[in-house]
């Protein structure tokens, strides 16, 4: 809303500068001030984008019923996301996935080798206290052949939320 008001004042000042030549200097000063205000609104650190990523902590987002499918060209992580926030809508999240080559399925993760990693954005619209399904396509280029058992692990890196 403040940006729209600034644009209206800017357009009005331009009109005054054209229609009334004796007020041109005042109109140019007003346009300069409005331009500076506009720039400060757009480029101020700590803006809405910064606060969107901290509104819902990762601990309030529950990923469940996860399924990892893998083929030669593309892998896919799908499942259900539950928004545990009381007041914010989850708009998206960043998920990291690692593919591990383990000696056996029960092996400790420290005994496994990470052979591929990818990070992806999931765009969701999950209101507070609700759940939705999601699907995330992943690419693992140049992944070597698996010598043991394929095991994968995921991590929720970041959330994006609005009111």
pLDDT digits (tens, 9 = 90+) for 79-113: 999 988 888 889 989 999 998 889 888 888 888 88
**Average per-residue pLDDT in the chain?**
83
CA 127 to each of CA 14, 80, 121, 141: distance values in angstroms, whole numbers, following the listed order: 44, 14, 18, 35
Q: Identify whether residues 13 and 35 lie together within a single domain.
A: yes
79 has which bridge partners? Answer: 134
Q: Check if the beta carbon of residue 123 is closer than 8 Å to that of residue 161.
A: no
Domains identified in the chain, total number: 2
Whether residue 76 lies inside any domain: the answer is yes
Q: Identify whether residues 74 and 123 lie together within a single domain.
A: yes
User: Domain limits at 24?
Assistant: 2-44
The mean pLDDT of 25-44, rounded to a whole number, is 78
Whether residue 116 lies inside any domain: the answer is yes
Tell me the residue ranges of DSSP E strands in 103-148: 113-126, 131-138
pLDDT of res. 1: 60
Q: Read off the pTM.
A: 0.65
């Amino acid at each position: 809303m403040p940006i729209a008001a600034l644009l209206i004042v800017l357009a009005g000042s331009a009109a005054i500068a054209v229609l009334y030549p004796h007020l041109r200097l005042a109109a140019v000063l007003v346009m300069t001030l409005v331009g500076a205000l506009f720039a400060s609104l757009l480029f101020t650190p700590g803006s809405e984008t910064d606060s969107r990523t901290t509104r819902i902590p990762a601990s309030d987002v529950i990923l469940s019923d996860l399924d990892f499918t893998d083929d030669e060209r593309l892998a896919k992580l799908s499942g259900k996301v539950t928004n545990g926030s009381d007041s914010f809508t989850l708009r998206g999240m960043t998920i990291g996935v690692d593919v591990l080559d383990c000696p056996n399925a029960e092996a400790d993760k420290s005994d496994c080798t990470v052979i591929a990693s990818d990070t992806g954005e999931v765009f969701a619209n999950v209101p507070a206290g609700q759940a939705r399904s999601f699907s995330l396509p992943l690419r693992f280029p140049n992944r070597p052949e698996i010598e043991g058992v394929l095991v994968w692990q995921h991590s929720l890196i970041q959330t994006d939320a609005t009111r």
